[in-house]
Structures are given as structure tokens and as C-alpha cells.
Structure 1
């Protein structure tokens, strides 16, 4: 930056700044990835608030007049992912490698682990629901519904959305780990 009234160096028109005005790529990637991970964590909090509402509305009968379905064990296990998500938000602010690793491991175990296990264990129920629906025998069984929608289908939509949010969050956290430790391998050699 020049001072007011100073003159430009002779022999240049001011366009030779590109070789000196560059930002290292890992800083740029880190800044972009932090904002994306923050959005994903906030989406996770939004969906977690729905589950917290369901759990509290079920356990406190006077809270709402809605016929809230009974929470399953996977709801409680999945809610543990709120703690690693808080660690992820704290890690983003200070580039804390330990906290991003806590976020990564907690999301793998309680986030993806719980949702994938639930999807796999309840897949037979989904196929049974689909077979009954295709054979027009769904009215005989009367599946559990919430606001007129089949609850099983709503849970699968929720689980698929959560798998995507967790997978993208893990990808972003992995990118941040690589950005924050770019020269670790070079120091060992």
C-alpha cells in the first residue's frame, strides 16, 4: 500500500502483484470448509431439536396434544451426537485438532453407526410395508401414522437425510484435519 502523494516505482504499471499476493491453498480450503461444516452442524442441530421435541413430548403427556410416537432406543443413542457436534463447532473457531477428532469419532460412532444400524435392522419392516401396500392389504394391518403419514416411511426419510449430513460432515472434518496438519508427513521424513 502506498502513502498518499507517493509515486509508483518506475518500470511497473502495478500489475506485477500476483507473485506476491497469494494465500496458501490450505488456508483458503480451511476457510471454505469451516463455513460448510458449520452449516452442516447447524442442520444437525435442527434435526436433533425435532428428536428432542419428540422425546420430551412423549415423556411429558400434557406438553402437546399431538399423538407423538414412542421414541426408540436409537433416538436416545443418536442424541448423543449433540456433544460431538458442539465439539466440532468449538474446533472450527480455534482450529483445534483434538476437538475435530472428537467430532469425527463421535459422529462415526453415534451418528453414522446408529443411523446405519437402524436402517439395516428395520429394513425388513420397510419391505413388509411396501409388499402390503402393493398388494392393497395395508388397510388390514393399519400401520402407525403421524399426521396421516406412515411413521416408518417418515423415519426412513429422516435417517437418509441424517446419513447424508453425517457423511458430508465427516468429509469436511477430514478436509479440515488435512488442512490443519499439512506438513506432518514432511517433518517425519
Structure 2
């Protein structure tokens, strides 16, 4: 290490910075997973906007507002699970608050909420449209003699459209849980280090 006069201090070759510049691994893991969880929350908001576009016809109907362009789309009426899934967006504010303050209790509540309001409605959707999707996938185009009752919207099988949504939403929720668990592990390790000091 050089001193003010440009003279190298005896006993060092300048490589002793490594022990001073090392960041504890749990802080690195925490910063990385906080960033990734924020991205997941962003994608959760994007999916919510898509769901609200689907629910717009029903919401406008309940508010007694008539918009011809929306009515012409003939969007099927929503099921209760769609509104319950929309409640999962409120959890994103709890999650963002938890990662801002490194609050283990709030992050744990966020995880439980994502399971209850995120995954459970999606599981119900998969089970509800299972028969419809199976009939569509096993339907033979050449055999028109059997009348197959498949709900369609704009020419597309409605159940299959929901399965595409479930695939995207379940991936977002899975990664939300994964990054949350990584944060909980890192924060507990940091707390254990503080207690040992």
C-alpha cells in the first residue's frame, strides 16, 4: 500500500484489501432477492390489469354503466375465484413494505396470503375448467357426429385461455414464494449473527 510520499509500506504488497472489502453473503442474498421480488410484484400487477380488463364488463354492469364496445365483446360472466384472485394484489403492498423494512413477520404474512389468495383460486380454476379443456383436447375434428359442448369466446376455447392465465400467474406466484423464502432465510441468518455478537 502506498503512503503519501509514494513509498510502499513494508510488509504489504497491496493485496490486503480483500479482507476489508468483503460483504457478508446474507446481505448480498438479501439485496438480490429483494430486487427479484420487486420484479415479480411488477408482473403480478401486469396480470392484475389483464384480469381487470376481463372483469370490466361485469364491473361496469354492476355500476349500471353501458359502453357498447365492451358489451359487444360478449365477455362471459366472471366466477367468484376471479375476484378473490384480484385481492392478492393488495398483498403486494404488504410484501413491498416488508422488504423495505426487512420485516420477517410481514413477509411471512405475505407468503401465507399469496398461497391463500393467489394459488388457491388458481387451483380452483384448473379444477373447474378441467372437463372443458379435456373435451377440447380429446375432441376429434373428423368426427362431427358427436356434439361436444365446449365454451368458446371469440372462437377460442374459454377453458384453455384460462389455463394460459393460470400458467403465467402460477409462475409469478411460485417465484414470489421462492424469493420470499430466500429473504426469510437471509434475514434469519443475519439475526443469528447479531445475537452471537
TM-score by length of 1: 0.85
Match of 1:161 in 2: 168
Q: Is the 8 A contact 2:2 2:9 kept in 1?
A: no
| Structure 1 unmatched runs, 5+ | none
Q: Give the total of aligned pairs.
A: 188
Question: Does 2:64 align with 1:89?
Answer: no
Q: Is the 8 A contact 1:111 1:166 kept in 2?
A: yes
Instruction: Give the Cα–Cα distance (whole angstroms) in 2 for the partners of residues 57 and 44 of structure 1.
Output: 21
Match of 2:20 in 1: 20
Output one character per residue of 1:104-152: Cα deviation in whole Å (capped at 9) or x when no partner. 0100111111112321233222112222246644994464333432221
In structure 1, the residue corresponding to 2:121 is in which secondary structure? Answer: helix
TM-score by length of 2: 0.82
Alignment of 1:119-130 (within 5 A): 119-130=126-137
Instruction: Give the Cα–Cα distance (whole angstroms) in 1 for the partners of residues 192 and 14 of structure 2.
Output: 39
Output one character per residue of 1:131-180: Cα deviation in whole Å (capped at 9) or x when no partner. 22466449944643334322211100111111111111101101111111
Instruction: Give the Cα–Cα distance (whole angstroms) in 2 for the partners of residues 133 and 55 of structure 1.
Output: 32
Match of 2:180 in 1: 173
Deviation for aligned residue 1:184: 5.6
Alignment of 1:52-67 (within 5 A): 52-60=52-60, 61-62=66-67, 64=70, 65-67=72-74
Report the structure number with the largest CA radius of gyration: 2
Alignment of 1:95-110 (within 5 A): 95-110=102-117
Q: Which moved more, 1:95-104 or 1:144-153?
A: 144-153
Match of 1:69 in 2: 76
1:66/1:24 Cα in 2 relative to 1: closer, same or farther (>3 Å)? Answer: same
Match of 1:50 in 2: 50
